[in-house]
Amino acid sequence: MEEDYTFEQGDSGSAGIEKIQAGCLKIGSLVIIKGHPCKVVSFSTAKTGKHGAAKAMVTGIDIFSSNKYECTFSTGENVDAPVVERKEFTLNFIDDEGFMALMTEQGDIKEDLKLPEEEWLKDVVEKARAILEEGKKECLVTIVSAMGQEKLISVREGNNI
């Protein structure tokens, strides 16, 4: 008698998220704090005491908004970490509403991403506009995406046009 074993993988609705043990976090790690993808800027631990396991106190900066968030985890706890993807595009132009016309290496066009308006990215936006206005070199931009969000984070000059 031949038995057929079929296994199905469940979807927990956590696409773009992986688990990491809180005690393994360090400065520069990525972790989700209060629903925000954050880069750890401060990490300290408190030893095991009469109230349970050792604790990790984590401070992180949101990678999209630059807001600061703090949280405490048990060091043995598995916490959510965002899966962050970086992609480079060629910026072809910026329309009147601030939407960017981006081209992939394969030649596909992406036009659904707006220039960032945050103050901390002002220099990046100005550099992109300057490269496009000069028109002598390609304008290469790096887009970071995680948890359904995307943002332009850096700009550099590419090859001569």
pLDDT (0 to 100) of residue 6: 43
Strand 68-74 relative to strand 55-62: parallel, antiparallel, unpaired?
antiparallel
Using the structure block, give the residue that is written with the tokens 């992180």.
60
The CATH code of the domain at 17-82 is 2.30.30.30
pTM for this entry: 0.79
Could you tell me the CATH superfamily of domain 85-160? Nucleic acid-binding proteins (2.40.50.140)
Q: Is the pLDDT of residue 78 over 70?
A: yes
Residue 84 near residue 144 (C-beta atoms within 8 A): yes
User: Above pLDDT 70, what percent of the chain?
Assistant: 89
Q: Is the pLDDT of residue 2 over 80?
A: no
For 44-59, what is each residue's pLDDT tens digit? 998 876 767 889 999 9
Q: Is the pLDDT of residue 8 over 60?
A: no
Sequence spans of domains, the chain:
17-82, 85-160
Measured from the Cβ of residue 98, the count of other Cβ atoms closer than 10 Å reads 12
Torsion sign, CA atoms 60, 63, 68, 73: negative
For 131-149, what is each residue's pLDDT tens digit? 999 999 999 999 999 999 9
